[in-house]
Structure 1
Amino acid sequence: MAKEKNTKNTAEPKFPLIYLVPLIAVLAIIPLIVHMYKYDTGLTKYASFQGPSTTYDFFLHSKMTWLLFILALCIFILAYMIFAAEIPAVWNKQLLPLVIYCALTFISALASTDIGYSFSGIYEQFESVWILMGYGILVYYAFYVISSEAALKRLMPWFVGGIVVMGVIGILQALSHDLYSYRWFQKLFIVPSNATQNFKFKFNFEPGRVYLSLYNPNYVGFYVALVVPVLLALLLHTKKILFKIGYGLLALVMLFCLFASQSRAGIVALIISCFIMLLCMRRVFLKNWLVTTITIGLVAVVFIGVNVMNHGILIDRMKSMFSTSAETHPLESILTGEDVTVTYNKQTLHITTTTDDDENTTFTLKDSSNKNVAYSEKEDSIVITDTRFPFTLTAINEQKFKGFGVKIDDKTWYFSNRLKQGDSRYYAKGAGSSLVLLTNHEKSLKFLEEHYHFANMRGYIWARTLPLLKKYFFLGSGPDTFTIAFPNDDFVGLYNSGHDQEIISRPHCMYLQIAVQTGVPSLIAFLIFFGWYIISSLRLYWKQSYESYMSKIGVGILASVIGYLILALTNDSCIAVSPIFWVLTGIGLAINRQLKKASVHAS
């Protein structure tokens, strides 16, 4: 009995839960928050902005608010642990590029094209400078707090609990029973009590498509890529059969959600990251070859099942992921100024108008040789009879708009030189009452210019984003200002690429997002930080025997980080999932530190 008592006394004490609260909140709670927020975008001051003046947010602003609170809590707990509890601060030279990245981000915010948005967050983003720098705080906090296996073991069940809740939400959405579509759930959790009694909303996702609580189905790919490798690591470590079954089923549920979200990039990224994990843990997987074979078989069954449920859409989308033929667009450009200049099938038409006192409009049409272009008059419009320009023009003399419309193919474009006092130039009509001067925009890579629909219509966005790097090379346009920096006044490009009536608020590539918003030097610092982490981790985990809990979780987190970074080639940083990525990175660094320390002691 005495011996038993002594064993209990020497057992490792539980790690204080209070220190883990910020990490638990980021990994398991904040991603689940969905709450209505009504706000004024403030962007109508920009003529090219085609969005609403007042709108609603459900997925991002509430997450931002709570994350800011958690970041403040991180700073408070760090101060307490270092100065009051006298737990020494820790440092690793690998953190230096991250410090440089955060410093450049803050300098970029001070030099921002719109400093207000850089510090408060913008429409459809809400990743202000405080959030971007906060990611660095999360990395350091996790690196500092996860100082032992006991800390990691106490944190992981909370993370798994959050994944379980996400899994339930995802299964219901896949089965066309989206919780967020139910009025009782909206009133209970989403719509604030001061909203109108009859307020109703519906998210624009087709039944059966999974988006979880993450704003967009694409971010389901991010989430699953982050959690599945960790679940596999837990499955491989536990000796209890019920836990093995539980982790295995939860991983399959996450894969089911991924397939039902139709995130093709998520599937590719997860395959690559899990393959890297398999290579690092090759001896473990070979030792457990039966479990490995069964797992691969079950994944294939889930994929086929979801594909059949959705009438073959998964395989069709995978086939078309990067297959696109070169495009030609008859409408090449529209320029406004002294006249309206339309280039169509390499032929140029110049349009000017005169309006008499009785508001009768006369059109003058000239080609590139300054020759008159023939047309015939109808009751309320004119039709160009010259076959080079199959357009219809209509004069508009209404109280809200005085100008004319030009119907080209399936779209009517509106212009006026009568709505700005003292300015006789022609403007294109944008959203609401906005008037936009249409100018030439710098071209990009030839391939992208000929493949606007490449990578699910990202080709055009990348084509217009790359030229921005020259303008914003050193300090960027400022955190959260991509919407302002992007040429949303390229009406013809937006039309030809299928983005007509849209606001391009993100480049659909995290690396371009960083380069444009906070500058190319900040992107270099970012890449050095993660490149250093990945290379040092691969060296560490290639030689591991994987007998310890920390080594298995560490390689799982490495796979998660790699999967996220691959996905970031075609998706942006988003406050819905990015905090999880940064926390896992900090935990990964902490585990690496502990494993290296243990290796030194062992030798």
Structure 2
Amino acid sequence: MIEVLPLIVLFVIYPVIVKMNIFPTPRGSLEYLVHPLGDANGDFYFYEKLKLLIPLAALSFLIYLLKRKKVRTRYNVGIALYIVGITVSTLMSPFWSIALKGGGNRYEGYFALLSYGVLALAALNISVENVKRVRLLIYSLLAGGVLVSIAGITEFLGRSIYKIPLLAQWILPGEELMGKVVYPSGGYTSMIEVIKGSPQFHNVSASLGNSNYSGSFAALILGILVVLFLENKRLLQKFLLLIVYSVIFALLLASRSRAGMVAFQAGTLLLLLLKIREVRRLLPSFLALLAVSIGIYSSMDYLSGGVIREQLAKDEGAGSSYKELTADKGGLWLEMYEGVLRIKRAEKELEIYDEVGREVIFEEKEGTIYLKGEKYEKISFRRDSRYQNVIHLNLGGESSYPLVVTKGGFKTIGRDGKAEEIVSPERISFLDKIQKKGSKRIYIWSRSIPLLKKTGLFGYGPDTYPIIYPQNDYFGKFISYGTPYMFISKPHNMYLQMAINTGLLSLLGFLLVVIPYLFQSLKIHSSVGEATEREVISLGIFIGIFSYLIAGLFNDSAVSIAPNFWMVLGLGMALNIFIVKERRERGIERLKRRV
């Protein structure tokens, strides 16, 4: 029992811990680089969890060391390589303090990443011969999922459980401290708003820090739940599993995470393909799940006035009519898909030419310069009423891009309000036309993938992505987000995040764990026949892990959800090893009987 106790606590209690911690982020410090929003950072969801994660992971590792019999498997190679990769990356990092403890409303530093690997190793070495122990871990995972779902659903309804006075008092510091803190909302509702107000029907973070994390979390658990429900033959247990499924599916919808929804659908499709030859047996249960899912979706969508349906059908556009803005000593080049504008600084006015050198006619009205011609109807320049040498480039949206006119040409205004050079970082340019897709993920990926040339084998250290990312790509952000000053804190891709932060070696180690696991699971569960309880749980874990890995293509890792993934992965590997061994022994016994 002692060997699974730390994992049970992490499954049940850990995900719902929420408390505000305040950290100073003085200008010029590394902490400010990863959180350049104010003089202090208020974190609700990650640091307090980290304080529990590290000691429990250390306890799990101690229990592992004291075990006489340890599992020998090829998975150990991948886990070891991952741990070596993150360790070397941290030791070599030029941003030591951030790499070690993390920062910027994430706190996924070295000790967090090391805890993930340790927990996977601990779960891999659990004695799965005792099926009750395995069952207890799965029930603990489901219990934690229900608690997080209650937090999410009540938040969605404007009646968050964290509004309970005792909880609210523990979560929030005094008013005098909250007033000094800037926390990134990223368009999401903050925990302060959730507790102090009653906002309804937004993308809920529950207790996990971001609605995308709620989506990944739900996809992981729903994959397991669907299999358990389909294969369970006891009516009461089946009914209870259906209730748990309903609650966690409601969390997925409340999060409105399209990545989570796609991941859940991908996992369900994989399960259908594996069970295609048993469809007649499983069809009533499948139809029951489908009916319940449609009922929950319809109810929540109707209750919220269609916000869930709107999110699913949301079209953010593809790209922009504008590709790039570059500066040289002669002026500016505004590159569009329908030509190029050359903008020069003259004595009193601007001089503007097209791609073949013809002068573009414009007129000025009330301090705004309008270009003539159908091709340029959305382009204008507005003079700043406060600063004579500043003009604002408008491309048809509500926001504008600031230009500072200097003797040498043009500059822009950076996040800190100072004049900066206009830069155009390396990007994957053929993605320009779709860079707004996926909630601007394509934009982020197009600038992140070239960073792999710089980060190489060992990266720049855990949680250093915001420092490495070209935050001064103000024009790229302007045409994608509509504002030059969007702060990019994460790559929205778990694999890119790993490769950029801790390098290709850590990513290789991770892939050497998950890819063999997926293929082994596929081989185990491709056969048809009566499944043992361990095989049913193993299949559920396979579908859940597969779903989470699909979500990882669009979402990054986070302290709030990653421990669940790594523990479930370790348990899945342990079950696979046991099942392969058991089947081999059964085969030998049958062979002996024939002889």
AA in 1 matched with 2:201: G
Query: Hey, what's the Cα distance between the residues in 1 that align with 2:530 and 2:523?
Result: 14
Aligned residue number for residue 268 of structure 1: 262
Query: Hey, what's the Cα distance between the residues in 2 that align with 1:224 and 1:178?
Result: 18
SS, match of residue 560 in structure 2: coil
Identify the range of structure 1 (301-310 vs 527-536) with the bigger mean alpha-carbon deviation.
301-310
C-alpha displacement of 1:289: 3.4
Identify the range of structure 1 (486-495 vs 286-295) with the bigger mean alpha-carbon deviation.
286-295
Residues 111 and 478 from structure 1, CA distance in 2 versus in 1: closer, same or farther, beyond 3 angstroms?
same
C-alpha displacement of 1:572: 0.8
Structure 2: runs of 5 or more not aligned: 181-190, 588-595
Q: Is the 8 A contact 1:407 1:413 kept in 2?
A: yes
Aligned residue number for residue 25 of structure 1: 9
SS, match of residue 503 in structure 1: coil
1:97-176 aligned at under 5 Å gives the runs: 97-148=78-129, 149-176=131-158
SS, match of residue 201 in structure 1: helix
Residues 47 and 527 from structure 1, CA distance in 2 versus in 1: closer, same or farther, beyond 3 angstroms?
closer
Query: Hey, what's the Cα distance between the residues in 1 that align with 2:164 and 2:281?
Result: 51
Q: Is the 8 A contact 2:230 2:285 kept in 1?
A: no
Q: Is the 8 A contact 1:48 1:430 kept in 2?
A: no
Residues 24 and 285 from structure 1, CA distance in 2 versus in 1: closer, same or farther, beyond 3 angstroms?
farther
Q: Out of 203, 208, 217, which is 1:214 matched to?
A: 208
Query: Hey, what's the Cα distance between the residues in 2 that align with 1:487 and 1:526?
Result: 26
Query: Hey, what's the Cα distance between the residues in 1 that align with 2:441 and 2:491?
Result: 8
Residues 412 and 496 from structure 1, CA distance in 2 versus in 1: closer, same or farther, beyond 3 angstroms?
closer
Give CA-to-partner distance per residue, 1:495-547, whole Å, 9 cap, x none.
11016232101111112212222223432332232110000111112226344
C-alpha displacement of 1:219: 1.5
C-alpha displacement of 1:116: 2.0
C-alpha displacement of 1:168: 2.1
SS, match of residue 471 in structure 2: coil
SS, match of residue 45 in structure 2: coil
Query: Hey, what's the Cα distance between the residues in 2 that align with 1:144 and 1:124?
Result: 33
Query: Hey, what's the Cα distance between the residues in 2 that align with 1:39 and 1:479?
Result: 19
SS, match of residue 342 in structure 2: strand
Q: Out of 468, 472, 495, which is 2:455 matched to?
A: 472
Give CA-to-partner distance per residue, 1:295-330, whole Å, 9 cap, x none.
222222222333333444444443446x8445313x
C-alpha displacement of 1:26: 2.1
Structure 1: runs of 5 or more not aligned: 1-15, 353-361
C-alpha displacement of 1:416: 5.7
Give CA-to-partner distance per residue, 1:385-420, whole Å, 9 cap, x none.
7647731223646xxxx95343535445556699xx
1:233-382 aligned at under 5 Å gives the runs: 233-236=227-230, 238-281=232-275, 286-320=280-314, 324-325=317-318, 327-329=320-322, 332-333=324-325, 335=327, 341=332, 343=334, 346-351=340-345, 365-367=350-352
Query: Hey, what's the Cα distance between the residues in 1 that align with 2:34 and 2:582?
Result: 58
Q: Out of 355, 360, 384, which is 1:394 matched to?
A: 384
C-alpha displacement of 1:196: 5.3
Q: Out of 543, 546, 560, which is 2:527 matched to?
A: 543
Query: Hey, what's the Cα distance between the residues in 2 that align with 1:552 and 1:537?
Result: 12
Residues 372 and 538 from structure 1, CA distance in 2 versus in 1: closer, same or farther, beyond 3 angstroms?
closer
AA in 2 matched with 1:38: I
For the pair shown, the structure with the greater C-alpha radius of gyration is 1
Query: Hey, what's the Cα distance between the residues in 2 that align with 1:100 and 1:142?
Result: 18
Residues 201 and 539 from structure 1, CA distance in 2 versus in 1: closer, same or farther, beyond 3 angstroms?
same
Q: Out of 77, 89, 92, which is 2:70 matched to?
A: 89
Query: Hey, what's the Cα distance between the residues in 2 that align with 1:342 and 1:213?
Result: 47
Give CA-to-partner distance per residue, 1:336-373, whole Å, 9 cap, x none.
x8686362752122348xxxxxxxxx856455699999
Q: Out of 555, 570, 583, which is 2:554 matched to?
A: 570
Aligned residue number for residue 183 of structure 2: none
SS, match of residue 157 in structure 1: helix
- TM-score normalised to structure 1 length: 0.83
Give CA-to-partner distance per residue, 1:181-216, whole Å, 9 cap, x none.
x37255333124797599992159961233321111
Query: Hey, what's the Cα distance between the residues in 1 that align with 2:318 and 2:138?
Result: 47
Identify the range of structure 1 (339-348 vs 527-536) with the bigger mean alpha-carbon deviation.
339-348
Give CA-to-partner distance per residue, 1:542-586, whole Å, 9 cap, x none.
226344221111100000000001111111111111111111000
Residues 517 and 43 from structure 1, CA distance in 2 versus in 1: closer, same or farther, beyond 3 angstroms?
farther
Q: Is the 8 A contact 2:390 2:405 kept in 1?
A: no
Residues 152 and 416 from structure 1, CA distance in 2 versus in 1: closer, same or farther, beyond 3 angstroms?
same
Query: Hey, what's the Cα distance between the residues in 2 that align with 1:25 and 1:506?
Result: 28
AA in 2 matched with 1:143: L
Identify the range of structure 1 (473-482 vs 540-549) with the bigger mean alpha-carbon deviation.
540-549
- The alignment covers a number of residue pairs equal to 558
Residues 328 and 185 from structure 1, CA distance in 2 versus in 1: closer, same or farther, beyond 3 angstroms?
farther
Residues 61 and 436 from structure 1, CA distance in 2 versus in 1: closer, same or farther, beyond 3 angstroms?
farther
Aligned residue number for residue 52 of structure 1: 38
AA in 2 matched with 1:341: L
Residues 414 and 593 from structure 1, CA distance in 2 versus in 1: closer, same or farther, beyond 3 angstroms?
same
AA in 2 matched with 1:40: P
Residues 393 and 49 from structure 1, CA distance in 2 versus in 1: closer, same or farther, beyond 3 angstroms?
farther
Fraction of identical pairs, as percent:
24
Query: Hey, what's the Cα distance between the residues in 2 that align with 1:250 and 1:89?
Result: 34
Aligned residue number for residue 357 of structure 1: none
AA in 2 matched with 1:58: F
Q: Is the 8 A contact 2:108 2:462 kept in 1?
A: yes
Q: Is the 8 A contact 2:158 2:198 kept in 1?
A: no
SS, match of residue 390 in structure 2: strand
Query: Hey, what's the Cα distance between the residues in 2 that align with 1:582 and 1:602?
Result: 30
Report the RMSD for the aligned CA atoms in angstroms.
Answer: 3.4
Aligned residue number for residue 592 of structure 1: 576
